[in-house]
Amino acid sequence: MSESVDARPSSRVRPHELPASLRDPILVNWIREPLDDAVDRRRRVIVPPAAAAMGTPVSAYQGALLAEAGHADTVFMMGDNPALPAMPERPALRDFFELRFSNIARSHLPQSAKVARENGLDEKVIMACMLHDIAIAGLLSANHGYWGAQMVGPYVDAEVAWAIEKHEALRYFPDESVGYTYPQAYVDYFGPDYDPPEYIHREHQAARRHRWYMTSRLITINDVYSFDSAAVADFGEFEDLVGRNFRQPAEGLGFDGSPVAHMWRTMIWPNNFL
Q: Which residues bind Fe ion (CB under 5 A)?
A: 133, 223
Residue among 139, 206, 131 at smallest CA distance from 170: 206
Give the DSSP per-residue string, 140-152: -STTHHHHHHHHH
Provide the minimum distance between the beta carbon of 16 and Fe ion in the complex, in angstroms, as a whole number. 36
131 versus 260: smaller Cβ distance to Fe ion: 131
The distance of closest approach from Cβ of residue 136 to Fe ion in the complex, given in angstroms and rounded to an integer, is 7
DSSP reduced 3-state for 240 = helix
Shortest reach from residue 133's CB to Fe ion, in Å:
4
Q: Given the complex with Fe ion, which of 133 and 165 has the nearer CB atom?
A: 133
Q: How far is CA 248 from the centre of its chain?
A: 20
For the bound state, the minimum distance from the C-beta of residue 139 to Fe ion, rounded and expressed in Å, comes to 13
**Min CB(148)–Fe ion separation in Å:** 8
Judge residue 201's burial from the number of C-beta atoms within 10 Å of its C-beta, 0-12 exposed, 13-18 middle, 19 or more buried: middle
Nearer to Fe ion, 134 or 260 (CB): 134
User: Which residues, listed in sequence order, are joined to residue 75 by a DSSP beta bridge?
Assistant: 44
In whole angstroms, the minimum distance from the beta carbon of 158 to Fe ion comes to 19
Nearer to Fe ion, 45 or 129 (CB): 129
| CB-nearer residue toward Fe ion: 95 or 223 | 223
Question: Which of 135, 157, 160 has its CA nearest to residue 215?
Answer: 160
Give the dihedral of Cα atoms 70, 73, 75, 81; nearest 10 deg: -150
Q: At closest approach, how far in Å is the CB of 132 from Fe ion?
A: 5
Q: Is 16 helix (H, G, I), strand (E, B) or coil?
A: helix
Which neighbouring-strand residues pair with 149? none
Maximum C-alpha span of the chain: 65
Measured from the CB atom, is 29 or 141 closer to Fe ion?
Answer: 141
Nearer to Fe ion, 77 or 129 (CB): 129
